[in-house]
Amino acid sequence: MIDIRMAQHRCGSDSVETTDRLVFVDDPGVLSTLAAEGRARWVLPVTSPGFVRFGRVRLRSVRAWLEGARVPSGGAVSVRLATRGDYLERLGGSFHRFVSAPLVRDFRYRVVLDTADSPDWLFPDGTSAQIELDGVVDESDGLRHFQPTPMAEWHLTATGDGLDLTDVTRVVMEFTGAVNPRTEPVQRAPAARGSEGLDWSA
């Protein structure tokens, strides 16, 4: 464990904004559980390709698009994304574990069969989506002194009238936030584990 204020001081103030960082979740076990139960969980490790060479990654917003999900035309998909408040971080080539407030964010988008003029997302099947409720991370949930990192155990619940998750091919997590652009050495993270024994380093 490392003190959060100390970690932020050591990182410096060289962070830059980053948008459209995508992480693809296509593990068959995750998708099978999502299809059967409408919920799933997975671990996003520090070695995730979208963040592997960055330090001090912080979230501004998080979204999850369910590719292959079926919903009646004009129907909405509601997604709840949550962590348990246990995070990993890369600082100066070393890895640290933080415990902070759990993050819970609701994200909702409406699916349109015909491509909209300015869609927020385009699905591989040609449908598009417009965001109705965005998963913005702010200070309202005890996060005033610590912005969470994406490297955490994520829990997702999906609901919607007529929503069919049988053919979901992947979950696309979309992050915006800030990163320290200084190149970090690539090395294997320590075997920190999630709350239910999941290995965060793989």
pLDDT above 70: residue 167: yes
pTM of the model: 0.77
Residue-wise pLDDT for 20-55, tens only, equals: 678 899 999 999 999 999 999 999 887 777 666 666
The 8-class DSSP code of residue 199 comes to: B
Q: Where are the domains of the chain?
A: 4-179
Please provide residue 37's backbone torsions phi and psi, each rounded to the nearest 5 degrees.
-120, -10
DSSP 79-140: EEEE--SEEEEEETTEEEEEE----EEEEEEEEESSPPSS-SEE-TTS-EEEEEE--B--ST
pLDDT of 15 reads: 59
pLDDT of 130 reads: 93
Q: Would you say 113 and 73 are in contact if contact means Cβ atoms under 8 Å apart? A: yes
Residue-wise pLDDT for 65-113, tens only, equals: 999 999 998 899 999 999 998 887 777 667 778 788 788 999 999 998 7
